[in-house]
Structure 1
Amino acid sequence: MDPDDYLMLSGIQHFAFCRRQWALIHIEQVWKENVLTFGGRQMHRNADDPFFTESRGDVLISRSVPLVSHALKIYGVADVVEYHRSDEGVMIPGREGRWTVVPVEYKAGRKKPDDRDEVQLCAQAICLEEMYRTRIERGYLYYGKTRRRVEVFFDDELRNRVAELVAGMYALYDAGITPPAVLLPHCKNCSLIELCMPAVSSRRRSVDRYLTACVGRDDA
């Protein structure tokens, strides 16, 4: 597959949250801003400066780092990648010594009840592992609402979850399928709720089931 056909890494958080949301954005090219996405975009804008590298003692901080994994066939950008000086680390072009690689993803709100943030961060780590030919054990999610970091360990379970989600993304993308809407509690936080209309779709399916049942009774 041509790298130009790779899927966006950032889509994995949409897919983990709602497969229909992912399909609307990445297959049907639909997007709508809400206060949550606006806050996230503003936070990312503060982090995104591809020409800026900050040095804090034994830590280098690079922003807006391009990412790619040819194994997963995804590409994207990391908000921040920290390089910690370590004898067991990798060589960094233009820098002396060796460094361990630590991805950091910025989120505007709070820690989520699901794993959408963790899988996105882990996918970034997998890209960085492939790019630097190293193993990355951990990374961090920084939440703007609480102003604190949450450490994430990239164990086999999380890595397998990432691989399964990416495979699911490609399955829908290759088939060109957008899953039907299902009204769930988390729909109220979705920026696409007015376009997706899960309540209307759910009522329509209920009516269809009712009519089908009535026809079945009449036939009997």
Structure 2
Amino acid sequence: MSSPAEFYNSLPPISKAYGTLCFLATTAFQLGLYDPMLIALDYGLVFKHFQVWRLFTNFFFLGKFSINFGIRLLMIARYGVQLENGPFQRRTADFLWMMIFGSLTLLVLAAIPIFQFPVLGISLVFMLLYVWSREFPNAQINIYGLVTLKAFYLPWAMLALDVIFGSPLVPDLLGILAGHLYYFLTVLHPLAGGKNILRTPFWIQRLVSRWRIGAPPMQRAAVPDDRGTSGAFRGRSYRLNG
């Protein structure tokens, strides 16, 4: 069995970086090094007092040390890593762009009064969960040893559990909305004959290449994907950039 250090070093770069930042943010909070309100999303402070860091820092706070915090961190370690090592293997720039697009979408949604929430870290993690559930729709998931269901339904089951246990509904719902928008624009719409209007920007590809983040992409054509089935459970067909 590999050691914790070996496991950590084996994680793909984007999921590892995001999970590490979330862990450090919560650890620093538990040590009393900062007030969470200093990093929370507040558009009034962003635009009136130019506290632009709030547009970024709010995504790294998953709450204080608790069972819920551990579950969110495990979601990154499992679903984020499986996405990055599976459908996004050798497509680090595409995975990074998905995270950026998801963050931008959440920032827009959070500007709507009924969706306002001070921290969007949980929402971004839920977006990863939703995209994972669409990429691996037929995987069998056991929830707390109580019920087994297909991964396609996992985001909704987790949302229901959060509501039952008294957690806010808005963060989970925002993540589902952002994840569905990304999946619709990159998979469902192109599969229906539409154009992929959400291609990874060139500057992100250059950034990933310049800093040698992740494995370099393979130069090959698209391969038909027949893992899934028709309709809502259909998998995607991948096209590598380049």
TM-score interval for Structure 1 and Structure 2 normalised by the shorter chain? under 0.3
Which of the pair is proportionally richer in strand? Answer: 1
Report which of the two structures shows the higher radius of gyration computed on alpha carbons. Answer: 1
Name the TM-score, length of structure 1 as normaliser: 0.28
Looking at secondary structure, tell me which structure has more helix per residue.
2
What TM-score do you get using the length of structure 2 for normalisation? 0.26
